[in-house]
Amino acid sequence: MAIFMASLKDENFGGPKLTALTTTFGNVEESQAFINSQIILDVAGRSDVMLFRGSTEPFVKGIESDYFFGRDGLGDNGLQSYRPIRAQNVHAALGLIQMASRYREKLIVAAIGALTNIALAIKLDPEFINKVGHLYIGGGNINDEAEFNIAMDPEAYHIVVSHGQPDKLTLVPFTTIYANQNITEDWRINKLGTLPTSIMKRQNAFERVSMANSTYWCLLDPAAMAIVLDEDDIVVEAKYAKATVGTCDSERGVTRYDFESANATARVVTEVKKEPYQDLLLKLFAKDSKRAPWNWKL
* Tens digits of residue pLDDT in 120-134: 999 999 999 999 999
The overall average pLDDT reported for the chain is: 96
- Residue 293 inside a domain? The answer is no
What gap in Å lies between CA 14 and CA 29, rounded to an integer? 33
- Residue 184 inside a domain? The answer is yes
- Residue 251 inside a domain? The answer is yes
Cα-based angle 104, 230, 101 (whole degrees, multiple of 5): 10
For 28-45, the pLDDT digits (tens) are 999 999 999 999 999 999
- Residue 97 inside a domain? The answer is yes
Q: Is the pLDDT of residue 74 over 90?
A: yes
pLDDT category, 289, cuts 50, 70, 90? confident
Q: Provide the pLDDT for residue 295.
A: 57
pLDDT category, 217, cuts 50, 70, 90? very high
Task: Convert 33-64 into a string of H (helix), E (strand) and C (coil).
Answer: HHHHHHHHHHHHCCCCCEEECCCCCCCCCCCC
- Residue 292 inside a domain? The answer is no
- Residue 46 inside a domain? The answer is yes
Which CATH number is 152's domain given?
A: 3.90.245.10
Average pLDDT, integer, range 229-256: 98
- Residue 291 inside a domain? The answer is no
Q: Provide the pLDDT for residue 150.
A: 98
Domain count, the chain: 1
Q: What is the DSSP string of 228-250?
A: HHHHHHHEEEEEEEEEEEB-SGG
- Candidates 152, 157, 160; CA nearest to 61 is 152
> Where in the sequence is the domain holding 34, given as residue range(s)?
2-285
What torsion do the CA atoms of 217, 222, 226, 228 make, to the nearest 10 degrees?
150
**Cβ atoms of 238 and 272 closer than 8 Å:** no
H or E, element range at 102: helix 92-103
Average pLDDT, integer, range 171-189: 98
- Residue 295 inside a domain? The answer is no
